[in-house]
Amino acid sequence: MSKSYKKALAVLAGLAALPLTIASAYGAEPPKSAAEYLAAAPAAMSMSDEDFAVAKALYFNRCAGCHGTTRKGATGPNITDENMKKKSYDAEVVKVFITNGTGGGMPSFGAGEMSEADIGLVANFIMMPPPAPPELGMAEITESWKLIIPEAQRPKKPEHSKNWKNFFGIVLRDAGKVAIMDGDTKELVNIVDTGFAVHILRSSASGRYFYSIGRDGKATMIDLWMAKPDKVAEVKTCHDARSIDSSKYKGKKGDFEDKLAIIGCYWPPQFAILDGQTLEPKKLVSTRSFTYDTNEFVNEARVAAIIAGHHDPVWIANIKESGYIWTIDYSDLKNLKITMAETERFLHDGGWDATKRYVQMAANMRNKMVIVDSHTGKQIAQIETGQKPHPGRGANWVDPKFGPVTATPHLGEATVAAWGSDPKGHKQHAWKVVRKVETLGGGGLFVKTHPNAKHVWVDHTLNPDDNIKRSVCAFEKADNAKKKCWQVADHGRVTHFEYNQAGTEVWVAVWDQVGELVVYDDKTLKEIKRIKGDWLRTPTGHFNVYNGMTDTY
């Protein structure tokens, strides 16, 4: 290991422990334009307007998700220029770090994902004060809203004979598109233009619609009943976003299935409530707030994961930097009720237990999973699972010894940790780690299973080793010692799993400019089909309609 690389690791480890601040490097009035910004930057770090624009876009698309729009850290450490200078950090060390990544979850961007020139631009950009990101209010959001096909003009029943509940939505990240595939035939149905770098798709409660959200904050609504599924509405509620969901409650307090939708923003820190049939903006709520522990104001208190309640008319939202989980009661938008549960910083992703009562979210920089009872909106437990848990939505199954459990992989260590998640039937094991299964290495982003499946699957997407990041492991629910690991592809990164509706097949993506989708038989672990094509550009997440509408994972 080179001296520069050792220095990069040592310095970034130190930065991870530094406190967050709300002050801009410029003070109260940061420059607004690129020219004004560049004029204020140190001469040694000067850039042309063109290079500055490229570097800013690269940082936003590749780095901001972990380090923050203003670089103050969350899943990744605080990398403001002020902290860099305190640690005697220079652009050359930053370049080494970006190029090689770390075993703690930072990918090696030099391994074909960014050119040497682009890495140099980003390194210099990081050594400059962060530019002030723009706000986005209701007037601008409403202006962006486009109702492409009104509800009255949409099909009254499916215009095709395909099993649309077994459709898969495939994120084509860098192409700014979503592919709709028939899960029965493995055939491409259509490719839909969406927002840039779509992060997730969520099914509506009925399953008829896919809602996508892009890194650019643009949401798209896709009607799967159309002869060729396509978008029927779109809106931009953020400049940077990760989360979207629909209203899924149907019960005594009213029928809200498909009636509303919610988008959580990274920047500006806010969430937007929309009409679920048209995406018309209805309400905007800021999440700028104070940390649960020190009551320090956090300007960049971002909305991470959102999940929809099935037993109550609520959404559960992680307010990432502040350490609060909000239970948002949408039954009366004019008198919106929000219950704020104190949990832990820095919240990222998670999902339901099998009963869809208990919210299980990762505070991955604190190495914990936090548990909130959605019936009360209160935290009931914290679980230390390992270094940087990253469950995706997690995986639920019945362990032969410990009963119902939920699991997460980790960014920072080679384990899948499973904890008891049945406080009624197996109280003695509830909210305690009961099993740990060794994987090939850290960098795990997703774990997945299905009630009908034999196996639990885990990836290693952000591991810096080429062989490991292209490999998956599958272990048996009934006997965790029965495990098989193998390399899926010889290029790109392998990421994310999704079962078909029946729970018999598992789809996994090869994330590359020339990507692949690989389908396996869950029972035998044998490859069924390898899907290729010029249209498969950077496939990442892929989502089954039925599993999405029922929150089966």
As annotated, the active-site residues are: 63, 66-67, 106, 348, 390
For 157-172, what is the HEC assignment? CCCCCCCHHHEEEEEE
> Which among 452, 515, 453, 456 is positioned nearest to 488, based on CA atoms?
515
Which element (helix H / strand E) includes 528? strand 527-531
Q: Give the Cα-Cα-Cα angle 135, 106, 93 (nearest 5 degrees).
A: 90
DSSP 458-473: EE-TT-SSHHHHTEEE
| Integer Cα distance of 270 and 377 in angstroms | 20
For residue 206, what are its two tokens?
Answer: 């009925």
For residue 472, what are its two tokens?
Answer: 């998956």
Backbone angles phi, psi at 403, to 5 degrees: 75, -155
Which element (helix H / strand E) includes 547? helix 545-550
> Which among 143, 356, 159 is positioned nearest to 248, based on CA atoms?
356
For residue 224, what are its two tokens?
Answer: 């799967």
End-to-end CA distance of the chain: 40
The β-bridge partners of 531 are 517
DSSP 41-102: S-GGG---HHHHHHHHHHHHHHTHHHH-TTS--SSSPP--HHHHHHTT--HHHHHHHHHH--
Q: Give the Cα-Cα-Cα angle 244, 252, 273 (nearest 5 degrees).
A: 25
CB neighbours of 44 closer than 8 A, spacing ≥ 6?
none
Question: Do residues 107 and 78 touch, judged by C-beta distance below 8 A?
Answer: no
Phi-psi region of 45 (alpha: psi -120 to 50; beta: other; left: phi over 0): alpha
| Integer Cα distance of 371 and 360 in angstroms | 5
| Integer Cα distance of 77 and 80 in angstroms | 9
CB neighbours of 452 closer than 8 A, spacing ≥ 6?
502, 503, 504
SS3 content of the chain, % helix, strand, coil (to 5): 20, 35, 45
Q: Give the Cα-Cα-Cα angle 244, 188, 494 (nearest 5 degrees).
A: 65
| Integer Cα distance of 402 and 416 in angstroms | 16
The β-bridge partners of 405 are 397, 420
